[in-house]
Amino acid sequence: MSTKAWVAAVFVVALAGGGYAALRYTGRLGSPACGCCQAGDPSPGGSTEPGSSPAAQPPPDDKQLAAAQGLCPVMPDTKLGEMGEPIKLMVRGRDGKEEPVFVCCKGCKRKALADPDKTLATVAELKAAPK
């Protein structure tokens, strides 16, 4: 193999590997799960069903709190647990009081923290709504 061919081959492999890494890092590798993020890799057990792995279950106390909330405050049509383990946030309102809030995914985490008072108001409505 000539030097030029070898350099070209190394360049192509590095370029393809870098593109793959960039897609993995930005979360654009995989099928769309919602409007704010992308689905992750299938669980190690081979099941691709959301919430099907034991690791996708929050601890018992958090599980009860998430069940009381029921839905994501950023995407209220999404049930917590549909997209894997709900993400727990501690959100501080204007009064300085910090409350636990659960969101469905990483994309919603950023949006929930951007407007904490709106998030806390939405969670209060979700908890008050009849189940």
Quote the pLDDT of residue 61.
84
Whether the CA torsion 25, 26, 32, 35 is positive or negative: it is positive
Range list of H helices, the chain: 3-26, 60-69, 106-114, 116-128
Query: How confident is the chain (131 residues) per 10-residue block, as mean pLDDT?
Result: 70 58 52 47 45 58 90 93 92 90 93 94 90 65
In whole angstroms, what is the distance from residue 49 CA to residue 56 CA? Answer: 10
What ranges do the domains of the chain cover? 1-30, 33-38+54-131
Model-wide pTM > 0.85: no
The pLDDT value given to residue 46 = 43
pLDDT, residue 27, reads 54
